[in-house]
A = this chain, B = another copy of it.
């Protein structure tokens, strides 16, 4: 008779890791509102209480899931390139992760003090240092990049939520028309571009903003006067 020390290790044994993976699957397919204790328990073929036995709360589960996704980004940092390229790849990495998992963007915008984000903050900061930003300005400069990233993250998450509910283009057109109703803004050339909100290239737009900020950083650090007003 075989020695029975396998201890009934069923292939579907519950674990924190398995719960997190199942949660990410639901989040990707159904969004954050789709992840409920009950839907998660059902997908794992278990009782709702079992989840709390492995993860403390729904919030902690969400944090763990976000941390995992962001950790994958920081793990793949190429350190051999220039500081600018490092910052670009770091920022783009998080951006692309958010595109793949929009709920990550919403969560990061909501809880920016997450350990994963702190790591990105510090990585960016060290690159800025070798870029020539003086030490006193490091904090505010890195914060600027991170704020921009989080702003875009939240907007992207919102955009996905929006398109999940209604037709995105129709919604935004209606919003613009509503706005035009109580304003004389046909002479505003921006209005003609606003509909681009519906079908523009998110990624290219993100890069443009990133380049603007990087330009601002280099011109200010070169000038050596980060705190004086521009112009």
Q: Please name all residues of chain B whose beta carbon is closer than 8 Å to the beta carbon of A149 when the two chains form the complex.
A: 151
> Out of B118, B141, B151, B205, which one reaches A175, CB within 8 Å?
B118
Q: Is B115's CB under 8 angstroms from A209's CB? A: no
**Does A189 sit within 8 A of B, measured CB to CB?**
yes
Contact partners of A118 in chain B: CB under 8 A: 175-176, 179, 194
In the assembled complex, the Cα of A198 lies from the Cα of B138 at a distance in Å of 16
Chain B residues with CB under 8 A of A72 = none
What is the interface size of chain A, counting residues whose CB is below 8 A from a CB of the partner?
A: 71
The interface stretch among A3-11, A41-49, A106-114 is A106-114
Contacting pair A179 B115 (CB below 8 A): yes
For A216, give its contact among B106, B147, B172, B219 (CB under 8 Å).
Answer: B219
Query: What would 9 more interface pairs be, CB under 8 Å, given A109-B154, A111-B158, A129-B189?
Result: A118-B194, A122-B191, A125-B190, A129-B190, A147-B155, A154-B154, A213-B213, A215-B219, A216-B219
Question: 21 A–B contact pairs at CB < 8 A?
Answer: A84-B231, A111-B158, A112-B158, A113-B162, A118-B175, A121-B190, A122-B179, A125-B189, A139-B194, A139-B200, A144-B208, A144-B213, A147-B152, A151-B152, A151-B154, A208-B226, A212-B217, A212-B220, A215-B216, A215-B219, A216-B216
